[in-house]
Structure formats: C-alpha cells, structure tokens
C-alpha cells in the first residue's frame, strides 16, 4: 500500500510518534511564561550558541543528496537548521524589542545582521540555499516590523544582491548552478537536472480537481516522482487529493497564520508582536517556497513543507513556536 509518502506501514508509525512529540512539546512551551525569553538573556544566547554548534556539526555528518544538513541519530535524522530558524526569531524579537526606538542606529542594524549572518553563512556552505533564503526573509521582515527606514532597507537589499552575486560566482560549484537554473527550462535536460520538476508538473496535472485518491497516484506509486514525502510532497498531495484537497490545506495554514499575527497585535509588548511576525514569516516562507519549487517558479531548494513533509525537525520547531504563541495569548 502506498500513500503520499511511499510505504505507509513503514513511515506512518514513525511520523505518528513525531506528531505526538510535537504536540507534547507545544503543550509544554504553552505553559512556560514567554516573558522568561523576553527578560532573560542567558537561555536565548545559550540556545543560539547551541544552534550554531549543531549547524557546524553537520559538516562531520554523512551527506544526503549532496547537502550536509542532517545529524544522523540511529534510524532518525535531525536537521538543526530548522531549530536555528526558530532560535533566530526569538533572538531578534528580544533584540529588536529592546532597541525599538533606536532601530535605525546603524550599529543595531549591523548587530542584528551578525546574528542572522553567522548561521546563514554556515547554511550556504552546506549548501542549503532554500534555508538561507528563509533566514533572510525572517531577518528582513522583523527589521521592517521594527520600523527600519526605507533608506536603510534599500541599502540592505542592494548589499544582499551584491553578496548573492559574489556567492554565485565564487562559492557555488558548477553542478549547483546547473541545479539552480534548471527550473527555467527543465526540458533542456529532461533526464538530468530537469527531471524532478517535469515529474512534479505531471503529478500536479494528473491530480485535477479532486485527485486520484490516496495510493492511486501513478507518479508516486510507480516511483517517477522523486522525494514525494519531502521535497515534492506538494505535488504528491495534489496528485492524490487534487487542487481542492491542497486548497483546504493552504486555507487551514493561512487561517493559522492569521491567528498568529492577530495574537501578536494584541500582545502588550513588542517582543510578542515581533515574535508572531517572525513565526508567521517562517511558516509562510516554507509554504511559498515549497509550492513555488513544485510548480517551477523557483529552483529546487529541499526545504520541508509545513505539516505535510515527512520528518520532525520542522514540525517540532513550529510546535515550539505555536506553544510560545499560546502563552503570549494567555498572558496578553
């Protein structure tokens, strides 16, 4: 029997265990007063340092699909970059909430850029360009929410483009560049760099409105669609549940994001507001980038699709964030 992620009897028990852990983690953090994160520096700084060390540890782990993003723990793998995203949100929310009035002081912008830049540089070297993009979006969105001036924001964007150009010319290898630009014309190399995107589009096209039913998608069942439980779970879901099924998933996620932002708006301090924005961007960016990759609007990135991708790193990180949001709501 096959579902959107392959052999159901092999994967479902593991994923159910991860879901249970995520629910327990979310419940635990919902009872920890978020002001502990807001008022005390040690737990936030300690978490940041640990996340950096874990990112560095991935270079000594086995490469998976050409990327050193995972720490292998027996039959499970842990992707520390997902935890690092959440830790960055907490750190920036704390930093910006304390310097909200002086956010346009260039010193504060540079310090926040260092907080963002250290993990981002490590991630680029893995190389995990998708997560680097999401790190950038989190940082820029929280800067904007803090009231950065348009002039400083434009300068940062220009600097980012310059750094991206440098990375393209001097950091990325030729095969990585080929992977990035293959989405522009996947049919130029249909059996090589363009294969994944072509199969993804076929899966989406055969799903129509209501899909073929769980286990009845030929692209997944016959093994044509690569990574149907992770990178291309968006296409696999549409093939089996159709555009209507995926629309329900997206509507549910958007409703949740709306609730997160509204809770942040009602928070009685800037930390709660900024954390809610960072968490919302974290989740939305994963959804947007994941969907864009599957339909050919962006190059393959390898980032998980929230609540659908197999594995626990992203799900547990989001669960921690949702637990903190529940506590913000309770204490506002």
The pLDDT tens digits for 230-251 are 889 999 999 999 999 999 999 9
* Residues in the chain, total: 332
By three-state DSSP, how is residue 76 classified? strand
Please name the residues in contact with 220: beta carbons below 8 A apart, sequence gap of 6 or more.
2, 3, 4, 6, 203, 228, 236, 239, 240
By three-state DSSP, how is residue 165 classified? helix
pLDDT band at residue 7 under the 50/70/90 scheme: low
pLDDT of residue 22: 96
Phi then psi for residue 119, to 5 deg, are: -65, -35
Residues facing residue 6 across a β-bridge: 3
- Kindly tell me if the per-residue pLDDT of 332 is higher than 80: no
What mean pLDDT is predicted for residues 144-148?
89
- Kindly tell me if the per-residue pLDDT of 11 is higher than 80: no
Please tell me the distance from the alpha carbon of residue 322 to that of residue 307, in angstroms, as a whole number.
13
Question: What are the pLDDT digits (tens) for 252-308?
Answer: 999 999 999 999 999 989 999 999 999 999 999 999 999 999 998 888 888 899 999
What mean pLDDT is predicted for residues 317-331?
96
| Range of lowest pLDDT (23-27, 79-83, 139-143, 221-225) | 221-225
Please name the residues in contact with 97: beta carbons below 8 A apart, sequence gap of 6 or more.
38, 269, 270, 271, 274
DSSP 307: T
pLDDT of residue 66: 66
Number of H helices, E strands in the chain: 13, 4
User: Which residue is listed with tokens 């953090």?
Assistant: 29
133 against 59, higher pLDDT:
133
264 against 170, higher pLDDT:
264
Please tell me the distance from the alpha carbon of residue 109 to that of residue 57, in angstroms, as a whole number.
28
pLDDT of residue 101: 63
pLDDT of residue 20: 96
**pTM, to two decimals:** 0.91
pLDDT of residue 100: 67
Residues facing residue 78 across a β-bridge: 71
Please tell me the distance from the alpha carbon of residue 58 to that of residue 197, in angstroms, as a whole number.
27
Neighbours of 145 (CB within 10 A): 21
Please tell me the distance from the alpha carbon of residue 326 to that of residue 282, in angstroms, as a whole number.
17
pLDDT of residue 8: 58
Please tell me the distance from the alpha carbon of residue 53 to that of residue 141, in angstroms, as a whole number.
25
User: Which residue is listed with tokens 């997902």?
Assistant: 82
11 against 87, higher pLDDT:
87
pLDDT of residue 65: 67
- Kindly tell me if the per-residue pLDDT of 167 is higher than 90: no
pLDDT band at residue 313 under the 50/70/90 scheme: very high
- Kindly tell me if the per-residue pLDDT of 208 is higher than 90: no
């Amino acid at each position: 029997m096959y579902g959107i992620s392959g052999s159901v009897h092999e994967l479902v028990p593991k994923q159910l265990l991860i879901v249970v852990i995520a629910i327990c983690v979310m419940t635990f953090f919902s009872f920890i007063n978020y002001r502990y994160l807001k008022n005390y520096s040690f737990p936030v700084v300690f978490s940041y340092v640990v996340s950096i060390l874990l990112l560095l540890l991935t270079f000594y782990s086995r490469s998976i699909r050409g990327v050193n993003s995972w720490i292998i723990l027996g039959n499970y793998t842990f992707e520390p970059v997902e935890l690092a995203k959440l830790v960055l949100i907490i750190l920036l929310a704390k930093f910006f909430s304390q310097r909200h009035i002086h956010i346009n002081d260039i010193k504060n912008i540079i310090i926040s850029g260092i907080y963002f830049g250290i993990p981002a540089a490590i991630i680029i070297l893995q190389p995990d360009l998708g997560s680097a993009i999401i790190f950038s979006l989190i940082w820029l969105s929280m800067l904007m929410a803090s009231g950065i001036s348009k002039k400083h924001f434009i300068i940062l964007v220009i600097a980012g483009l310059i750094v991206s150009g440098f990375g393209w010319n001097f950091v990325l290898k030729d095969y990585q560049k080929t992977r990035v630009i293959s989405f522009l014309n996947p049919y130029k190399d249909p059996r090589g760099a363009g294969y994944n995107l072509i199969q993804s589009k076929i899966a989406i096209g055969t799903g129509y409105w209501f899909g073929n039913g769980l286990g009845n998608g030929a692209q997944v069942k016959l093994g044509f669609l690569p990574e149907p439980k992770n990178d291309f779970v968006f296409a696999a879901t549409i093939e089996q549940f159709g555009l209507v099924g995926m629309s329900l998933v997206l509507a549910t996620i958007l409703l949740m994001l709306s609730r997160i932002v509204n809770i942040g708006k009602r928070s009685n301090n800037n930390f709660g507001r900024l954390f809610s924005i960072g968490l919302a961007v974290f989740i939305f960016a994963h959804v947007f980038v994941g969907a864009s990759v599957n339909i050919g609007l962006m190059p393959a990135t390898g980032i998980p699709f929230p609540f659908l991708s197999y594995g626990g790193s992203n799900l547990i990180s989001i669960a921690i964030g949702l637990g903190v949001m529940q506590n913000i709501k309770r204490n506002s």
